[in-house]
Amino acid sequence: MGSFLIWHILIIVLVMFVPGLVSCIVVFRLPLPEGANRFGAPSHPAASGQALVRGFKRAFVFNGRASRSEFWWFLFWTMASYVIMNVAFWKAIAAEGEISRALLILPFVPLIFYLPLLSVAIRRLQDANRSGLWVLLAFGGFSVLALLVLLAEQARDGVIDDGDAFG
């Protein structure tokens, strides 16, 4: 029975870790995009509230560019809403002792952030002069680490000052 568990753990590690490692290696070995940014005019930094408003106003806009601050603030508010709703859900269950129909809706409230977050992430990748298809790395287990590296890149407008790998 012990070897059964070991084989399952090994399979999970191989399925989750190896693709993530391969995607990280691929991302770090990719050449930097050359030339002018092909995704439009430069984006402007956003404060916390501005990022939230921009994210929801442009929830269905997958072209253009989003600044790093806009993406990271929107990600922060997405995670904060998720944590707040889960705490409220579990406190309500503890108080009532059972799950009512109204409580069943509560964990799904943060889902309203996910399409706008996808849109902002795609525009953020385009700001770094990368294809928005890189966002698909989020669905590959540990590949999300490679995606976070790409999302943290500086905006590229065809001019690289110091020539390092992170722009």
Name the token pair of 16.
Answer: 């989750």
- Summarize pLDDT for 37-94 with one digit per residue, the tens: 878 888 888 898 999 999 999 999 999 999 999 999 999 999 998 888 888 878 877 7
CA torsion angle 136 138 142 143 (round to 10): 30
Identify the three-state secondary structure at position 47: coil
Please check whether residue 13 lies inside any domain of the structure: yes
Residue 124: domain span:
2-151
Please check whether residue 160 lies inside any domain of the structure: no
First-last CA distance in the chain: 51
Look at the block and give the residue holding tokens 């601050």.
69
Closest CA to 140 of 30, 10, 22: 22
pTM above 0.85, yes or no: no
Please check whether residue 126 lies inside any domain of the structure: yes
Split into its structural domains, the chain has a count of: 1
Please check whether residue 20 lies inside any domain of the structure: yes
Please check whether residue 167 lies inside any domain of the structure: no
Look at the block and give the residue holding tokens 């989750």.
16
Please check whether residue 157 lies inside any domain of the structure: no
